[in-house]
């Protein structure tokens, strides 16, 4: 195994030299630190598949060639560019993507300055709801006239991803009847992804609803 890892490093160094690139250039293409690339070349490292895929693309080759496997018959090396191909998403697609996930990030103002805080959420009739404790940072978000909430998904190995941003007013759900009706709807929809079981200890009895007036999204592919 150690010899195999060393062979990977030699192949990375050889391919880099064939392209006439220094480590800094390849590292910038791959989105890794030059020190990490040096480590791959000189030490018996065990890079993750995602990292090796990024290095292979930066070197205009394939993972199979770097690890010593035969390249696919007739396959051409992937083209490499540092340009991001961005595609705007329509609102319907944004809601579909949001429905497939349960964790997002809310932008809040804290005593120490702006912060981005992860919360688990649910959707309720084109609004977004999450549950938190009254004295936490996510609870403060309900005091803002305009709240920003972001959900994304990135696949480094495939070099694709998307991001959805919701902006609008948020409010605390203070009416017990409204809270009861909400929890019943979420349960009927297949559970309560907004946090029946909190990630950390303590009570999470404050519900916040975001009614966005702006829903935007992007899908990105590094080509």
Domain boundaries, the chain: 2-79, 85-222
Of 38-47, 67-76, 199-208, the range with the lowest mean pLDDT is 67-76
SS3 string, 100-112, reads CCCEEEEEEEECC
Judge residue 68's burial from the number of C-beta atoms within 10 Å of its C-beta, 0-12 exposed, 13-18 middle, 19 or more buried.
exposed
Compute the distance between CA of residue 98 and CA of residue 163 in angstroms, rounded to an integer: 10
Fold: same for 2-79 and 85-222: no
Compute the distance between CA of residue 99 and CA of residue 173 in angstroms, rounded to an integer: 21
Compute the distance between CA of residue 118 and CA of residue 170 in angstroms, rounded to an integer: 16
Q: Would the pLDDT of 74 be above 50?
A: no
Instruction: Tell me what pLDDT residue 5 has.
Output: 47
Instruction: Tell me what pLDDT residue 45 has.
Output: 65
User: The pTM is what?
Assistant: 0.59
Fold of domain 85-222: Pnp Oxidase; Chain A (2.30.110)
Compute the distance between CA of residue 59 and CA of residue 104 in angstroms, rounded to an integer: 34
Considering only residues 90 and 42, tell me which one the structure prediction assigns the higher pLDDT. Answer: 90
How is 123-144 classified by DSSP, letter by letter?
E-SS-EEEEE-TTSHHHHGGGS
CB 24 within 8 A of CB 34: yes
Compute the distance between CA of residue 8 and CA of residue 16 in angstroms, rounded to an integer: 12
Per-residue model confidence as pLDDT tens digits over 163-208 = 999 999 999 888 888 888 988 888 877 655 444 455 555 567 789 9
Compute the distance between CA of residue 132 and CA of residue 113 in angstroms, rounded to an integer: 20
Classified as helix, coil or strand, 17 is helix
Compute the distance between CA of residue 155 and CA of residue 104 in angstroms, rounded to an integer: 16
Fold of domain 2-79: 434 Repressor (Amino-terminal Domain) (1.10.260)
Which of 172, 161, 160 is closest to 210 using CA atoms? Answer: 172
Compute the distance between CA of residue 223 and CA of residue 217 in angstroms, rounded to an integer: 19
Per-residue model confidence as pLDDT tens digits over 146-171 = 899 999 987 665 667 889 999 999 99
């Amino acid at each position: 195994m150690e010899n195999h890892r060393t062979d990977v490093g030699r192949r990375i160094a050889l391919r880099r030299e064939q392209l006439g690139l220094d480590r800094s250039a390849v590292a910038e293409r791959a989105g890794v630190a030059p020190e990490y690339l040096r480590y791959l070349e000189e030490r018996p490292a065990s890079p993750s598949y995602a990292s090796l895929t990024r290095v292979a693309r930066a070197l205009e080759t394939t993972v199979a060639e770097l690890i010593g496997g035969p390249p696919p018959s007739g396959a051409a090396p992937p083209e490499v560019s540092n340009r991001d191909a961005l595609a705007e998403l329509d609102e319907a697609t944004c809601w579909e993507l949001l429905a497939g996930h349960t964790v997002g990030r809310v932008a809040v103002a804290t005593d120490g300055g702006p912060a981005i805080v992860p919360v688990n959420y649910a959707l309720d009739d084109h609004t977004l709801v999450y549950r938190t404790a009254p004295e936490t940072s996510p609870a403060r978000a309900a005091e803002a006239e305009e709240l920003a909430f972001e959900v994304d998904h990135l696949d480094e190995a495939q070099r694709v991803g998307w991001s959805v941003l919701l902006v609008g007013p948020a409010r605390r759900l203070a009416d017990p009847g409204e809270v009861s009706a909400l929890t019943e709807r979420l349960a009927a929809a297949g559970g309560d992804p907004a946090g029946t079981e909190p990630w950390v200890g303590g009570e999470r009895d404050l519900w916040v609803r975001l009614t966005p007036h702006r829903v935007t999204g992007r899908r990105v592919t590094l080509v």
